[in-house]
Structure 1
Amino acid sequence: MANKQHYRHFLSNPVAKPPCRMLNANMYGFFVDANTDKMQGYIDDTLNTLSTTVTSFRVLGHYCLLTFTDIEKISSLTPPFSEQGWMQETDIIIWLPVAEIEHQAGENDINHLYWYPAFIAVNNIYALINGREVWGYNKYLCDYEMPSNMADLSRFSLSLQCFKHFSPDTKLSHHQLLSISQAPAAKDENLLDNIEEFGNKVARLFRGDPIGIDFSLIKQLLNGFIHPQMDQILFKQFPDGEADKAVHQAVVHSPSEIKKIHAFKLLRNNFQLDVKQLASFPLFDMFGIALGLQEVHIPFYINMDFDQLGATQLLPK
């Protein structure tokens, strides 16, 4: 739209301006087996609804990333919102690795690699409203469990107020969607606090991807979590009053600028993920994540400070 109206920050409106400073973010990450076709279907239903003859998006490989992140302090860096206060936020996110493909003269070239936070649950309403309104994060309120420190990694869980089954008689209630527990280690492991080794390990997971992305590009994508910038891509939309048409729809890009790494550690690989079937959040149908108990890959921990920058529109151009 050529002549956009100024957004109204009226009294009581909780929407603040980015960028936001995130301090002491404790992230636990787990790579999870998924299904390429189902993840691609999710991307086709979101990002690729705005694809063109020149640009489209493809999922990489058959893994997604599940993270639990406790952020101690978040505040806007833009006055006057920077003077209003700060909040704690916990995010539980399922990330899809995505390639932006450029179609030119019969060739399909990789233009950029992104992380797509396709599902995200948070613990406070302020985070939910700002995330959805400003950036387009697909956020939902949740209850959760996660370790308060590295000494006790016994349990992670995510529960949401939702529908377990769809029927006219089903009442909205709280249900657990997933949990992660730590089993006794089968053997000693050579655990390295080495960021380069982390990038190598994860890049090997994605080798053999049908798009033909080489090892160095995958390392670049994964190292973005712990080097200066992690590129996020999002699908932002708002419905009309009948929830039929979109009054706004865009593919946007928001970088996370890593300011400082306080700690990084590869964790012992003895975690099990347990996924439940919920009609509101059918993870198997969405991403091909299997129901029930399953192994995870390359669990890791990182503590960092980062800035979440504002979102810029990629499509439509």
Structure 2
Amino acid sequence: MSSEFTPYAQFPGGVIAQPPCRMLNANMYGFFVKGDINKIQNYLDETLGLVKEYHFKAISQYCMLTFTDIENIKPTTEPWASQGYFQETDVIIWLPVAKMQDDKIKHIYWYPAFICVNNIYALINGRETWGFNKYLCDYVMPAKGQSPDYFSMTVDAFKTYSPDTKMASCELFNVKMVAKDTESAIENFVDLVKEGMKLLESEVNFFDMDFSVYKQLLSGFINPKIDQLLFKQLPNGDATNAVYQNVLHSPSVIQKFHSGCLYFHEFEFTLNQVDMFPLSDMFGIKVGSQRPLLPFNMLFDFNQEAALNL
């Protein structure tokens, strides 16, 4: 029997908790890294595009890379809300995506296309319930209040595909500060949008659309929520077909903005070649080093709502 109306078996020892989840003290560092809009579009077509009811368009050659340490997470639904809380760090590559209708942009979403986390509970619940494309990782990032000097993410992976390659720990990418400059404090998400727009107005082809739509893209920070688009699928027993496949929507609803700032330091992003996670093929991010744009930091609380059909 297979139906989304079939009750889910909550058996003893199972670790699937019902959403939503509330997240306290999410300390997010962000950078915009240049990719290739054609490869990003191919990635959208190979994932979201498999659900034929919708058409999604890549609207930027840039991906947003975030490192976020979330101090305290727990579901808000009982009995899970009374079982305890956990910490999670996630490292995400986000794609700004337009839902199209009659060749017009109907809505802008953030698609967390590649996610690595440090917590197995977060990985299982994120993949099984929401459909987040999560993998385990180790990471380095500054704690709250520390200088944003260095970030890195390491995964267990096949670095080079061959019959004799043993899975091992590989650094996929890092970000380091190479020249120190000033920082500009922001009081709320509106300030982030305004200051970010000033910085990016001169960047040619930052978004593949006019600037008015760019404002719509970032309006989610003002609402305040971040509209996330998810591609959820479950394979059959021999992983040749999907027993479930759909595009879902789950908003991150901002509850409180604690602090934030824009960085004018110079950073260097370096991507290493790891065959198991070919970000150059996925998003067109070139192996090697580049200067990321719009580095920022935010500390906030938010709720991750349930994932619903788009």
Q: What range is the shorter-chain TM-score in?
A: over 0.9
2:194 matched to 1:197? yes
Amino acid at match of 2:50: T
Counting only pairs closer than 5 Å after superposition, residues 69-88 of structure 1 correspond to structure 2 as 69-88=68-87
Structure 1 position 61, deviation (Å)? 1.9
Distance 1:196 1:251, change over 3 A: closer
Equivalent position to 1:157, from 152, 159, 173: 152
Distance, in Å, in 2 between the alignment partners of 1:207 and 1:97 is 14
Structure 1 residue runs without a partner (length 5+) = none
What whole-Å deviation, never above 9, does each CA across 1:18-74 have from its counterpart, x for those lacking one? 00000000000000111000100100000001123xx30011121110000000000
Structure-2 residue corresponding to 1:51: 52
Tell me the SS of whatever aligns to 2:169.
strand
Maintained 8 Å contact 1:180/1:272: yes
Maintained 8 Å contact 1:226/1:261: no
CA RMSD of aligned residues (A): 1.8
Task: Please identify runs of 4+ aligned residues in structure 1 that moved more than 6 A.
Answer: none
Structure-1 residue corresponding to 2:217: 221
Distance, in Å, in 1 between the alignment partners of 2:223 and 2:174 is 29
2:295 matched to 1:295? no
Distance 1:169 1:2, change over 3 A: closer
Tell me the SS of whatever aligns to 1:263.
strand
User: Which range is displaced more, 226-235 or 287-296?
Assistant: 226-235
Maintained 8 Å contact 1:164/1:175: yes
Tell me the SS of whatever aligns to 1:232.
strand
Structure-1 residue corresponding to 2:61: 62
Structure-1 residue corresponding to 2:43: 42
* Number of residue equivalences: 304
Distance, in Å, in 1 between the alignment partners of 2:269 and 2:47 is 26
Percent pairwise identity? 48
What whole-Å deviation, never above 9, does each CA across 1:250-269 have from its counterpart, x for those lacking one? 00000000011000100123
Structure-2 residue corresponding to 1:7: 8
Maintained 8 Å contact 1:260/1:306: yes
Amino acid at match of 1:61: S
Distance 1:2 1:87, change over 3 A: closer
Maintained 8 Å contact 1:67/1:93: yes
Structure 2 residue runs without a partner (length 5+) = none
User: Which range is displaced more, 85-94 or 151-160?
Assistant: 151-160
Maintained 8 Å contact 1:121/1:139: yes
Distance, in Å, in 1 between the alignment partners of 2:56 and 2:302 is 26
Distance, in Å, in 2 between the alignment partners of 1:152 and 1:208 is 27
Distance, in Å, in 1 between the alignment partners of 2:225 and 2:305 is 10
Structure 1 position 154, deviation (Å)? 1.4
Distance, in Å, in 2 between the alignment partners of 1:93 and 1:225 is 17
Distance, in Å, in 2 between the alignment partners of 1:173 and 1:313 is 37
Amino acid at match of 1:191: S
